[in-house]
Structure 1
């Protein structure tokens, strides 16, 4: 989530600023006191020596990349010496949903406002458009059969691209009501698919607003049909936020509702599948409640898929700076890696890494707000980071969990 400043000079999230301009329902993620602490802005993510991510930039790594910041000595075991953070590509409007194809040896990610999916090839670093239009896709995931799952904001559904080239709708409604805008998707080892459904796609920039009278277009000033296919424009928000589970026979169950957690965003399982992590971000278009507070929640997970004992895993405050999360993933040691949006506190944008007991282990500083991340590469030891306009990567001394 990117940030701008309001008329009082306070930081506002990318989605909140859109809400302030057109919806009036978005609320600030953090308390004013926290935002006030974000006011001092360091000149760059690294002040000494100056850092450049350009392809022809001079070397910047002196055994350990200076933007790998240790908060706990245990982070040292996760850092790969002599491995630099690299900007692999830039040119998107809002990069999201990276997913690694182990079979194809490529990374796919979404450029939501540009309505396309991009692909980075492992062999030569080539980047090309993989799918356009993408129905303003957000989160992506490759299931245990190597098929791509995508959350589509525009059509308010989750689809699967089959191996024979056809497309299957995995979920578009719950109890007859249309989803808001599925955001992130993952798969449990039992084969079930899990989805978060906040309202962020109900806006012009990342999808389409509600039809006239809907929560994100109450006065009907916006025309959701402009620039869209003829079957787009009649949808209205019909239900609150939620986290859903889809069984292999297509049965959809709401596992977490809006009362338990507002604005669910990124999600992932612990390596042994007995816990579920869900990030809770800020209020979106059409929201009338307080909205999420930029926290990561953890739930206990039973063998039958039921969740219980939801509690805050971390408030994502680092050095008194709110590092609001979006996408999350785990490594083989159970550490949780979360994207970080700190707005004007640019030295805190990037990634935070948390031990299973909630301790902050370290951070990865990026010059842009990070929206989502995943492990990939031939050995699953490269952390890919979709950050605003760019794609970054850094090899680590750990691996992402394989759920295959």
Structure 2
């Protein structure tokens, strides 16, 4: 076969099947001719050369199973839909995050954090439009058991709920009189409570607003956090550690996980029976005085009194020696944990990693962009939506997501 982007043909012994078995950019680059390795016309994806076109207009895959859905353990064959291909259903974000599925309205909503907007994809015709702007540089979104949207706003350092009548309610903006950092992700519990993480990633220009002069994320005061903002923005300073909180139905806010337990907490989700809570710990954020998270996932037992215990390291997210930084988390109905993967420039490891309840890797989904967050949706809740850098990807699965979107 011949690479149309190079003057030198690829070795004819390098079959398409060989490329499919190859993982990551290293194998592909090593197998290609020197001309291709040095001057590619476009960044290679995980499988094909020339790069695969994931869009609706792209050529269909010629395999019964998508070559970018990898079975690590045979049990994963029970969860991957063999004749379903990964599709890029939209692109155009600066950084896509927080996908959430509205079951009644049959639409997907997600955040485009730097563009300060939320987007919406309509399931019946695939139309995408701006859903809410400004969005407070929202990050994580979810829907509770009453169908109300929950959003974590970096810019305003708060958690809000959009009511069914169109009004908005501020659920949390402070703890013990101190302003929150930048709420990141949120999940609903069957008892009516909401659980959310509060790392510092919104304390930067790109995704929110840095601290006022002298604050941990703006110690020199050289950055003016008020530029381009509405009145009142840019006056706050980071006051709290990176904790996780529970919003009681009464409105009370309780500290449930400390920074010492899970530094820089990011995505979180409950097991299907709500007896376990998973939390992703990500890297050091702006203003952190400590080492920050290690890019791993932790799990806690959830007691009937909402107290957490028996903390364990669920996964260090090291796959084949590559750190697949976790972010968004979702469980399926069998308790498998689907984890978005940000492996940076390690092409072939960005996408989604799937673990069984014991923490064993059973499958992977490879994407051509780093993946920040995921959710299950669609009318049957059997479609996995993946917010990956600039784009939204989707693939049908043979399972259903647990809990609301």
TM-score by shorter chain over 0.5:
yes
Q: TM-score, normalised by structure 1?
A: 0.89
Q: Give the conservation status (yes or no) of the 8 Å contact 1:96–1:372.
A: yes
Q: Give the conservation status (yes or no) of the 8 Å contact 2:25–2:46.
A: no
Offset at residue 346 of structure 1 (A):
1.1
Q: Any idea what SS the aligned residue of 1:75 has?
A: helix
Offset at residue 47 of structure 1 (A):
3.2
| Residue deviations 1:199-251 (CA, integer Å, cap 9, x gap) | 00000000000000000000100000000001101100001010000111100
Looking at structure 2, the residues matched to 209 and 223 of structure 1 have their Cα atoms a distance apart, in angstroms, of 8
Q: Give the conservation status (yes or no) of the 8 Å contact 1:121–1:127.
A: yes
Task: Label 1:80 to 1:250 Cα distance change in 2 as closer, same or farther (>3 A).
Answer: same
Looking at structure 1, the residues matched to 151 and 338 of structure 2 have their Cα atoms a distance apart, in angstroms, of 21
Partner of 1:326: 327
Looking at structure 1, the residues matched to 206 and 254 of structure 2 have their Cα atoms a distance apart, in angstroms, of 29
Looking at structure 1, the residues matched to 121 and 62 of structure 2 have their Cα atoms a distance apart, in angstroms, of 24
Q: Give the conservation status (yes or no) of the 8 Å contact 1:41–1:346.
A: no
| Residue deviations 1:46-80 (CA, integer Å, cap 9, x gap) | 13685221332211141100000111000111111
Offset at residue 82 of structure 1 (A):
1.1
Partner of 2:36: none
Looking at structure 2, the residues matched to 41 and 247 of structure 1 have their Cα atoms a distance apart, in angstroms, of 51
Looking at structure 1, the residues matched to 84 and 363 of structure 2 have their Cα atoms a distance apart, in angstroms, of 16
Partner of 2:223: 222
Looking at structure 2, the residues matched to 218 and 336 of structure 1 have their Cα atoms a distance apart, in angstroms, of 39
Gaps of 5+ in 2: 1-23, 29-43
Looking at structure 1, the residues matched to 386 and 161 of structure 2 have their Cα atoms a distance apart, in angstroms, of 23
Partner of 1:291: 292
Partner of 1:169: 170
Looking at structure 1, the residues matched to 87 and 56 of structure 2 have their Cα atoms a distance apart, in angstroms, of 9
| Residue deviations 1:245-299 (CA, integer Å, cap 9, x gap) | 0111100000001111100000000011110000000000001211101000001
Looking at structure 2, the residues matched to 258 and 300 of structure 1 have their Cα atoms a distance apart, in angstroms, of 18
Looking at structure 2, the residues matched to 318 and 236 of structure 1 have their Cα atoms a distance apart, in angstroms, of 37
Looking at structure 2, the residues matched to 355 and 54 of structure 1 have their Cα atoms a distance apart, in angstroms, of 30
Looking at structure 2, the residues matched to 77 and 384 of structure 1 have their Cα atoms a distance apart, in angstroms, of 19
The alignment covers a number of residue pairs equal to: 367
Partner of 1:368: 369
Looking at structure 2, the residues matched to 262 and 61 of structure 1 have their Cα atoms a distance apart, in angstroms, of 44
Partner of 2:261: 260
Higher relative contact order (CA 8 A, sep 6+): 1
Q: Give the conservation status (yes or no) of the 8 Å contact 1:271–1:331.
A: yes
Offset at residue 39 of structure 1 (A):
8.9
Partner of 1:21: none
Partner of 1:81: 82
Looking at structure 2, the residues matched to 90 and 133 of structure 1 have their Cα atoms a distance apart, in angstroms, of 19
Q: What pairs up with 1:5-404 in 2 under 5 angstroms?
A: 40=26, 42=28, 43-47=44-48, 50-403=51-404
Q: TM-score, normalised by structure 2?
A: 0.89
Looking at structure 2, the residues matched to 343 and 278 of structure 1 have their Cα atoms a distance apart, in angstroms, of 21
Q: Any idea what SS the aligned residue of 1:100 has?
A: strand
Looking at structure 2, the residues matched to 371 and 350 of structure 1 have their Cα atoms a distance apart, in angstroms, of 8
Looking at structure 2, the residues matched to 142 and 148 of structure 1 have their Cα atoms a distance apart, in angstroms, of 5
Structure number, greater radius of gyration? 2
Partner of 2:35: none
Looking at structure 2, the residues matched to 154 and 40 of structure 1 have their Cα atoms a distance apart, in angstroms, of 39
Two-structure CA RMSD over aligned residues (Å): 1.3
Q: Give the conservation status (yes or no) of the 8 Å contact 1:98–1:107.
A: yes
Partner of 1:15: none
| Residue deviations 1:321-376 (CA, integer Å, cap 9, x gap) | 11110000000000000000111111000000000011101100000000000000
Query: Is the deviation greater in 278-287 or in 48-57?
Result: 48-57
Q: Give the conservation status (yes or no) of the 8 Å contact 1:96–1:139.
A: yes
